[in-house]
Amino acid sequence: MVAVGSDHDPRRALGRIAETAASLTGARHAAVGLRDEDGDGPGGPVTHGPSPEAEPAAGDCLEVPIQVRGELFGTLYVAGKDGPEGFGDTDRHLVRVLATEAGIALSNARMHGAARQRRRWIDGAASVTTALLAGPEAGSSAKDALTVVAEKGRELAEAATGAVLLPHSGGGMEVVAISTVLPETVRAEAHRGRIPPQSPVVHQIHAGLAVFSDDFAGDPRSISPMSRHYGPTMLLPLRSNGRVLGALALCRIAGDRRFSHTERTLGTQFAAQAAVALVLADRHRDRERLAVFEDRDRIARDLHDLVIQRLFATGMLLETARRKAVLPEVRDGVGRAVDELDATIQEIRTAIIALQQGPSEAPPGLRTRVLREAAAATAALGTRPSVRFTGPVDTRVDDMGARELLAALGEALAKVTAAAAARPQPTRVEIAVDLTVPPPGGRPGIRLTVARPDDDAPPVVWERPLRGGPGA
């Protein structure tokens, strides 16, 4: 009894009980049959000795239930005793005592197993929270945080696939992050498909209720094509402050053991903790993003209030010096310096507007796209083109006008870079986007000018009337 009670491995403990039962009663065969409806037990009967060839007579076998606190765990069975008298009262008493010990051993094993499981799930939830709140790495996104939840949930549940599903704009739910040991085709199929809005599973998740299934492929509640890959499945709502953010799907392959009551409880708790961690991580990213925007605003103010004013004051001094200069070459040199200062002030103002733009996820404005086109031509030209904007370019030019302007700019730069390929020295290019000069007809319009100051070639000019824009 001491040896059995100190062993936390349930199969080894039950094997000792079967061996002891056969030894004490003189039976040739003993077995512990387990009633394992919840999936928490060791699984399968534990036997000792050769199995009887035929069904033993009533007096040639004993079968005693294994119970703990009224719960039936299984039966302890002995058969094949030598001698004409068969099993007696003493044998029956010994088998009952061993059945009691078997129940205690199973109960202890379940408690130890449940404690290990809880500790593992708690540690896993803590690691997810730590990873999400540690701050996003360079280039990371909200999808990366969801992938962390899916991967850790799959590991803890010992599942084939873990996936995070979020509401789809067209109704239903879609997979936005997945971790799976199944082939890559399954991953690709999961990202292409979605659970339709009429699925009972979706209704249950939106109501904040978990969905458990022992065979998801054959479950009538599942009408998603993805379900054919899976057997035991848990769909757990990601819920925080009464709001369902999405769901965590933990799926085992068909034929695998089903999720026990303990695993279902721990999985539900993990999903709730993960939902809270996701909300906190999202707020953490918002705070960091706000700090970046505040820093950009400060830099923009400093550029405007300090740098531009100083450059403007320097330009005024140079302009005064140019008027007082006697030699023509001095006047021309100072004039070119003033022009360079004006161009520099325009570029700084463009940088200020870029700093004050929205988050990187937002579509870039026309200024940003023009600057990107200019930057792309830098390598071929040997020097970065100068870009000047006049007027509220981002707010007055509509999407179609922006596309037409960018097409004209790309065509002009292509011609300039083709001509620059035959020249050994860098080619200086000036780009101007102006909303203040009305085109022919007197209507408000936009004008693009691409000039090469070092050449005699005429500038490329494109213009068209404004049709209105985002801010018009």
Which of 182-196, 203-217, 288-302, 312-326 is predicted most confidently?
203-217
Strand partners, 194: 174
**Mean pLDDT throughout 76-98?**
85
pLDDT band at 469 (very low <50, low <70, confident <90, very high): very low
Q: Is the pLDDT of residue 135 over 60?
A: no
Helix axes 261-302 and 328-355, enclosed angle (nearest 10): 160
DSSP state of 228: G
Q: Residue 397's closest CA among 367, 417, 371?
A: 367
Q: What is the pLDDT of residue 197?
A: 83
Helix axes 89-133 and 10-25, enclosed angle (nearest 10): 180
**Mean pLDDT throughout 119-133?**
81
**Measuring CA to CA, how many Å separate 26 from each of 65, 78, 395?**
20, 9, 96
Using an 8 Å Cβ cutoff, are 412 and 419 in contact?
no
* Tens digits of residue pLDDT in 154-180: 999 999 999 888 888 778 888 888 888
The chain-wide mean pLDDT, for the chain, equals 80
Counted residue by residue, the chain has a size of 472
Residues 6+ apart with CB under 8 A from 310: none
Strand partners, 434: 390, 447
DSSP state of 87: S
pLDDT band at 139 (very low <50, low <70, confident <90, very high): very low
Strand partners, 247: 165, 237
Which of 27-36, 110-119, 135-144, 204-213 is predicted most confidently?
204-213
Q: What is the pLDDT of residue 354?
A: 64
**Mean pLDDT throughout 466-471?**
55
**Mean pLDDT throughout 20-44?**
75
Return d(Cα 144, Cα 159) in angstroms, integer.
Answer: 20
Q: What is the pLDDT of residue 39?
A: 46
Structure tokens at 458: 């005429």
Q: Is the pLDDT of residue 279 over 50?
A: yes
Instruction: Give the residue, 469 or 105, on which the prediction is more confident.
Output: 105
- Say what percent of the chain tops pLDDT 70: 85
Which residue type occupies 310?
R
pLDDT band at 274 (very low <50, low <70, confident <90, very high): confident
Q: What is the pLDDT of residue 250?
A: 92
Q: What is the pLDDT of residue 154?
A: 92
**Measuring CA to CA, how many Å separate 170 from each of 197, 200, 226?**
8, 17, 18
Q: What is the pLDDT of residue 216?
A: 87
CA-CA-CA-CA torsion sign (437, 443, 446, 447): negative
Using an 8 Å Cβ cutoff, are 387 and 350 in contact?
yes
Q: What is the pLDDT of residue 449?
A: 92
Question: Residue 278: how many CB atoms within 10 A of its CB?
Answer: 23
**Measuring CA to CA, how many Å separate 319 from each of 134, 312, 334, 335?**
55, 10, 7, 7
Structure tokens at 330: 């001095």
Q: What is the pLDDT of residue 174?
A: 86
pLDDT band at 472 (very low <50, low <70, confident <90, very high): very low
Phi/psi zone of residue 235: left (φ > 0), alpha (ψ -120 to 50 degrees), beta?
beta
Q: Is 53 helix (H, G, I), strand (E, B) or coil?
A: coil
Instruction: Give the residue, 278 or 408, on which the prediction is more confident.
Output: 408
Q: What is the pLDDT of residue 57?
A: 62
Q: What is the pLDDT of residue 7?
A: 64
Q: Is the pLDDT of residue 141 over 70?
A: no
Return d(Cα 429, Cα 392) in angstroms, integer.
Answer: 23
Q: What is the pLDDT of residue 409?
A: 92
Q: What is the pLDDT of residue 394?
A: 78
Return d(Cα 293, Cα 296) in angstroms, integer.
Answer: 5
Strand pairing class (71-81; 61-68): antiparallel
pLDDT band at 470 (very low <50, low <70, confident <90, very high): very low
Q: What is the pLDDT of residue 363?
A: 58
Q: 65 — phi, psi (to 5°)?
A: -70, 145
**Mean pLDDT throughout 297-326?**
81
Q: Is the pLDDT of residue 98 over 80?
A: yes
Q: What is the pLDDT of residue 212?
A: 92
Return d(Cα 6, Cα 23) in angstroms, integer.
Answer: 20
Q: What is the pLDDT of residue 368?
A: 80
